[in-house]
């Protein structure tokens, strides 16, 4: 079973757009192997985009947190939230069907409460000096723990709706 058996690529891309517009994060839908497949990018902040454009940073920051979160949701079967090594929020919600992990839905970017960017790491991994990091973070949304929980709950609810609709169609 694949994510595209449950909903077409365009439907998953629409969910990414919805999450980005609603919560101001970079939303992503991944298959069970942790690979994005919609071809849609929702970079809602400039720091994440700068990291993704730098192979070392994308591998050392983004890929690492994606693997960690993927492992956690696979093991727990529940949504997870964390901060990436750059200091930004990451939310990951698993999609299980018939006891198997089919994929994950989530979003990243922005800072929770009083978190700050990890300037030293960003300079070492991405070559971004402190002034450039400040510039890239200008206007980036901050979220409270309650807002993070609301985002996670919303994604969990949307995934549950999508699975319920799929199960009704295949019944």
Tens digit of pLDDT for each residue in 24-37? Answer: 999 999 999 999 99
Q: At which residue do the structure tokens 């991994």 appear?
A: 125
Q: What average pLDDT does the structure give for the chain?
A: 93
Please name the residue that has the structure tokens 């009704």.
168
pLDDT, tens digit (0-9, with 9 covering 90-100), for 52-92: 888 898 899 989 999 999 999 999 999 999 999 999 999 99
Read off the CATH number of the domain in which 35 is found.
3.30.450
Say whether pTM exceeds 0.75.
yes
Backbone angles phi and psi of 167, in degrees to 5: -65, -35
pLDDT at 9: 97
Number of domains in the chain: 1
HSE (side-chain half, CA atoms, 13 Å) at 144: 3
Cβ atoms of 104 and 35 closer than 8 Å: no
State mean pLDDT over 122-135.
92
* Mean pLDDT of all residues in 147-166: 97
Q: Which domain holds residue 117?
A: 3-166
**Is 124 within a domain?**
yes
pLDDT the model gives residue 39: 86
- Report if residue 143 sits inside a domain: yes
**Closest residue by Cα to residue 20 from 120, 118, 125, 154:** 154
Contact 104, 30 (CB under 8 A): yes
59 belongs to a structural domain: yes
Q: Give me the residues paired with residue 96 across strands.
A: 101
């Amino acid at each position: 079973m694949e994510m595209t058996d449950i909903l077409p690529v365009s439907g998953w891309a629409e969910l990414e757009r919805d999450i980005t517009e609603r919560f101001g994060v970079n939303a992503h839908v991944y298959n069970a192997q942790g690979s994005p497949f919609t071809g849609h990018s929702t970079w809602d902040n400039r720091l994440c985009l700068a990291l993704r454009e730098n192979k070392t940073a994308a591998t050392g920051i983004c890929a690492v947190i994606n693997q960690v979160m993927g492992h956690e949701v696979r093991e727990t079967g529940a949504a997870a939230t964390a901060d990436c090594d750059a200091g930004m929020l990451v939310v990951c919600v698993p999609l299980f069907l018939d006891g198997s992990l089919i994929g994950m839905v989530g979003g990243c970017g922005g800072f929770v409460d009083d978190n700050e960017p990890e300037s030293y790491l960003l300079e070492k991994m991405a070559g971004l000096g402190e002034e450039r990091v400040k510039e890239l973070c200008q206007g980036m949304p901050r979220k409270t723990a309650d807002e993070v929980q609301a985002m996670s709950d919303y994604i969990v609810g949307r995934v549950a709706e999508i699975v319920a609709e799929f199960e009704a169609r295949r019944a």
